[in-house]
């Protein structure tokens, strides 16, 4: 007699890519995981759940392969990498990381604002090259306090960015899908109007078909040659080719970017610009936030398989 597999009876979860070690350790023994690429007909016929590490795409084809699929569990806040139309048509639930990443992303956004306005990275590089001793002080950079900051997307992240920068004495305004009655900041109905009244424009909204490339040349011209663009949302919110041109031509004063349109590709023209601070989509990632999203993922999977309400369901 063949002994039953130790995973027999555990809920099956399909993975579009392998789990990160932190997730694998936390979920070990709770579920039976099978990579989508390795799933046979029996796995595909049985699977009711998909767990999506990072921003791995979940295509309509994958959804179609799983006739009993009922839930897609994302480990990110944004879900633009998931074919939501395919999920909507099938009545498949989608969950995300909720607000777990919001404080870390807000902290990072403020860091980018400070770094670009005060030219922190460029001044450090100047010092490291020995130029302070050889050539004197690095040129002065502008202050942060008192700047007019426009925030695109006053959700969980945007609201925290606003509160942090208000503590700097910055004047906050925002653009969102609609005015928020609880927000004590001025609302602008368009991103261009907001940019025209801002020294710094912070992008913290979701990427949708409506917001894709919402920041083009017109918005950058409105922000102006002394203006700074900070993006901690999604790279696709910005017309990258136009951003490069505006920075090169002096139409825009600077940029702090943590996200890009075709990650991990970064426009090489940005590398040598002293008025640009670049990072590798790391605003969300701290040991604390990783543990937080592990907890949310476990809670959503446990709730689903036990028939309880989901913890962070996305409205499709």
Q: Are residues 57 and 77 in the same domain?
A: yes
CATH of the domain at 53: 3.40.50.720
Q: Are residues 88 and 37 in the same domain?
A: yes
Q: What is the pLDDT of residues 164-176, one digit of tens each?
A: 999 999 999 999 9
Q: Are residues 60 and 208 in the same domain?
A: no
Asked if residue 297 is part of any domain, the answer here is yes
Q: Are residues 156 and 197 in the same domain?
A: yes
Average the pLDDT over 253-274 and give the result: 97
Confidence at 314, pLDDT banded by 50, 70, 90: very high
- The whole-number pLDDT of residue 4 equals 40
* Higher-scoring residue by pLDDT: 2, 290: 290
Q: Are residues 205 and 60 in the same domain?
A: no
Active site (catalytic) residues: 234, 263, 281
The string of DSSP codes covering 73-132 is EESSS--TTB-HHHHHHHT-EEE--TTTTHHHHHHHHHHHHHHHHTTHHHHHHHHHTTHH
Full-prediction pTM beyond 0.85? yes
Percent of the chain with pLDDT over 70: 97
Q: Are residues 16 and 132 in the same domain?
A: no
Residue span of the structural domain in which 148 resides:
102-278
Q: What is the pLDDT of residues 15-56, one digit of tens each?
A: 999 999 988 998 989 999 999 999 999 999 999 999 999 999
Q: Are residues 26 and 130 in the same domain?
A: no
Residue 11 has pLDDT above 50, yes or no: yes
How many domains would you assign to the chain? 2
Helices (H), ranges, the chain:
21-27, 41-46, 60-65, 84-90, 102-117, 120-128, 131-135, 156-166, 191-196, 217-223, 240-249, 287-305
d(CA 137, CA 121): 15
Asked if residue 2 is part of any domain, the answer here is no
Tokens 């998931």 — which residue? 82
d(CA 41, CA 147): 59
- The whole-number pLDDT of residue 6 equals 54
Confidence at 300, pLDDT banded by 50, 70, 90: very high
């Amino acid at each position: 007699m063949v002994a039953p597999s130790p995973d027999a009876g555990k809920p099956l979860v399909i993975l579009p890519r392998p789990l990160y070690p932190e997730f694998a350790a936390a979920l070990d023994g709770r579920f039976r995981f099978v990579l989508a690429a390795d799933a046979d007909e029996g796995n595909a016929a049985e699977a009711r759940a998909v767990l999506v590490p990072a921003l791995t795409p979940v295509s309509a084809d994958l959804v179609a392969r799983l006739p009993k699929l009922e839930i897609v569990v994302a480990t990110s806040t944004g879900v633009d990498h998931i074919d939501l139309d395919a999920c909507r048509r099938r009545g498949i639930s989608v969950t995300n990381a909720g607000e777990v990443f919001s404080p870390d992303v807000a902290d990072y956004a403020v860091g980018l604002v400070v770094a670009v306005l005060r030219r922190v990275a460029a001044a450090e590089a100047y010092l490291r090259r020995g130029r302070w001793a050889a050539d004197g002080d690095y040129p002065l950079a502008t202050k942060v306090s008192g700047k007019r900051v426009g925030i695109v997307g006053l959700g969980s992240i945007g609201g925290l960015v606003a509160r942090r920068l208000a503590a700097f004495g910055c004047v906050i305004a925002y653009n969102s899908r609609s005015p928020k009655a609880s927000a004590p900041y001025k609302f602008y109905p368009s991103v261009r109007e907001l940019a025209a009244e801002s020294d710094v424009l912070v992008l913290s909204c979701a990427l949708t078909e409506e917001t894709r490339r919402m920041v083009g040349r017109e918005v950058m011209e409105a922000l102006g040659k002394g203006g700074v663009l900070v993006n901690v949302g999604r790279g696709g919110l910005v017309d990258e080719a136009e951003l490069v041109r505006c920075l090169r031509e002096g139409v825009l004063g600077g940029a702090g970017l943590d996200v890009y349109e075709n990650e991990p590709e970064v426009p090489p023209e940005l590398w040598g610009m002293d008025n640009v601070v670049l990072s590798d989509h790391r605003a969300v990632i701290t040991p604390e936030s990783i543990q937080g999203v592990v907890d949310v993922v476990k809670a959503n999977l446990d709730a689903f398989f036990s028939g309880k309400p989901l913890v962070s369901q996305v409205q499709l």
